[in-house]
Amino acid sequence: MSSFLTSRNVADVLGGITNGVIYSLVALSLVLVWRSTRILNFAQGAMAMIATYVGFAVLAPTTSYWVSMAVAIVAGLLIGGLTERVIVRGLYGKPEINPVVAMVGFLLVLESVAAAIWSTGSRGLPTPFSMVDWQLNHKPVALSPFALYEIVTAVVVMTVIAGLFQFTKLGLRLRAAALAPEVSRLLGVRVGRMLTLGWMLSSAVGAVTAVLVASNYFTGLTPTAMDGVFAFGFIAAAIGGLDSPVGALLSGIALGVILQFVGDYLNSNAIILVALGMLVVSLMVRPNGVFTRSAQRRV
């Protein structure tokens, strides 16, 4: 048993899951706004990065990681809401290329602004839990308290989001506004408010993700810290289907595990190549995503 837990393959699976939950969170964040507003938020990672900088601005006075996390989440909510009201609202119903250009532009603006304010140097953020792997019979298991914290946080975030959408009145309105905006208005749902709220939730999920990424001292926080994570999260969302939160979760974890094996058995340079290859193949075979049930929306 103990040799199994410390074996190379189990190590790859555990390491893959740890990376994968981060991709799942990014994918979930993208799915939340795609479902309601049909906009691919290319600035998702950058918005989350800004929220994290804001959160860690309070680190010095309070010295609490958890207060910083809370502030980052609140900043994420505000950034998401403001983005929807100020930038995104004017893009609804426009040709598909408009939001793409606008969101890529917004990404570049945010990264430049962050560099101007906080410089491009990496900030090591405090790690609330040890990143040293647990040991079993003097052999390391590829799981550290920090990795477990990442996984648990991701599970909590997803459970909260799923519970909100599935079991609350607000969730019913959020889903209705996304599926059938005009019908929802005819039932008294304030659709504009629901769309803003969807962006706020998405951005808050992003903020939690970015705090996790930044508290890993191998990455730290830089204006471009989320670029790589965003790319993998985007691939996970595209493979899982941009309409499917469950697909986002599963394909994020699957992607993490597969890429961990690729890096271990092949070559770490092959990781991005394999990820893009998977994206291309999945777009050819199932363009609407592996987990999307129906190709067409019916109302």
* Residues binding another protein (CB under 8 A): 169, 172-173, 175-176, 179-180, 182-191, 298-299
The distance of closest approach from Cβ of residue 54 to another protein in the complex, given in angstroms and rounded to an integer, is: 33
The distance of closest approach from Cβ of residue 169 to another protein in the complex, given in angstroms and rounded to an integer, is: 6
Which C-beta is closer to another protein: that of 1 or that of 299? 299
The distance of closest approach from Cβ of residue 243 to another protein in the complex, given in angstroms and rounded to an integer, is: 10
Helix (H, G, I), strand (E, B) or coil at 139: strand
CB 128, CB 59: distance < 8 Å? no
Selection from 52, 38, 39, 7 nearest residue 209 by Cα? 52
Alpha-carbon gap, residue 180 to 218, rounded angstroms: 44
Alpha-carbon gap, residue 37 to 225, rounded angstroms: 26
> Could you tell me the two tokens for 242?
């941009």
Which C-beta is closer to another protein: that of 139 or that of 193? 193
The distance of closest approach from Cβ of residue 285 to another protein in the complex, given in angstroms and rounded to an integer, is: 24
Looking from the CA of 99 toward its CB, the CA atoms found within 13 Å total 21
The distance of closest approach from Cβ of residue 230 to another protein in the complex, given in angstroms and rounded to an integer, is: 29
The distance of closest approach from Cβ of residue 246 to another protein in the complex, given in angstroms and rounded to an integer, is: 14
Which C-beta is closer to another protein: that of 155 or that of 183? 183
Which C-beta is closer to another protein: that of 6 or that of 36? 36
Which C-beta is closer to another protein: that of 183 or that of 273? 183
> Could you tell me the two tokens for 33?
């706004």
Which C-beta is closer to another protein: that of 172 or that of 270? 172
> Assign residue 222 a region: left if phi > 0, alpha if psi is -120 to 50, beta otherwise?
beta
Q: Where are the alpha helices (DSSP H) in the chain?
A: 2-5, 8-37, 44-57, 59-62, 65-86, 97-118, 145-167, 169-179, 181-186, 191-215, 227-240, 245-261, 270-285
- Produce one character per residue of 184-210: b if its CB has 16 or more CB atoms within 10 Å, e if not: beeeebebeebbbbbbbbbbbbbbbbb
Burial class for 240, CB neighbours closer than 10 Å (0-12, 13-18, 19+): buried
The distance of closest approach from Cβ of residue 187 to another protein in the complex, given in angstroms and rounded to an integer, is: 5
Which C-beta is closer to another protein: that of 148 or that of 180? 180
Alpha-carbon gap, residue 173 to 180, rounded angstroms: 10
The distance of closest approach from Cβ of residue 297 to another protein in the complex, given in angstroms and rounded to an integer, is: 8
Which C-beta is closer to another protein: that of 191 or that of 254? 191
